[in-house]
Amino acid sequence: MAIYFKHHIKESPFKYEIIHTLMSFGAGIILSALALVLIPKGLEELELFPMAISFLAGTIIFMFIDRYLAKRGGQKATLLAMMMDFIPEAIALGALFASEPHMGTLLAVFIGLQNLPESFNAFRNLVQSGSSVKRTLIIFFFLSFFGIIGALTGHFLLSNQPGLTAHLMTFASGGILYLLIQDIIPESKLEKKYLTSLGASLGFLVGIIAEKIV
């Protein structure tokens, strides 16, 4: 999709508005995953103090990683930032499928919808920073297996440990919320354009609909 959009859609202000709307849509879906799946699991399984510690730990660790990546810049930083929320979510997904298949299905929908606009923008950033289209596609192909490995790890090692799974999901929530506010939401905004903010609301609505259906 990113390749087609880059080469077959002519440059225009509307093109950039679509790009930023996709980013905002992804942010809305991520926020719905936090509010409807990840945080509720932590509230259900954990006591107040351990839950708060996990959330703060995720926030602080992701903040330091984000600062480190910002200093380095380049293609590796973009890739690592994309993976920072993907792997914890995949591990939690595998664990949830073993104990709560319906909740696992909901989280799988969230992750899939979230990764569409996220990968669209990550691909564009890598190509614009100098990586060839072929090389970028190969990198993304192999990185996708980290999700499978993470899901299998969660399924076979964490399925009988709901407390640990809840800690992981709460930890990821803190980090993802930090990234959402620090990086994704500011980048999705365009001056005097209102479609981009609407995208975030539509993304959150997708999460509400998915939970209602499941």
pTM exceeds 0.75, yes or no:
yes
Q: What is the pLDDT of residues 31-73, one digit of tens each?
A: 888 888 889 888 988 999 999 999 999 999 988 888 887 777 6
Give CA torsion, residues 77, 79, 80, 86, to 10 deg. 150
For the chain, percent of residues with pLDDT exceeding 70: 93
pLDDT at 75 over 60: no
Question: CA separation (Å) from 67 to 23, 129, 183?
Answer: 21, 19, 11
So what's the pLDDT on residue 139?
86
pLDDT at 208 over 70: yes
Average predicted confidence (pLDDT) for the chain:
81
So what's the pLDDT on residue 51?
95
Token representation of residue 175: 């980090």
State the alpha helices, DSSP H only, in the chain: 2-8, 13-33, 39-45, 48-72, 74-99, 101-128, 133-157, 162-179, 185-188, 195-213
Boundaries of every domain in the chain: 15-213
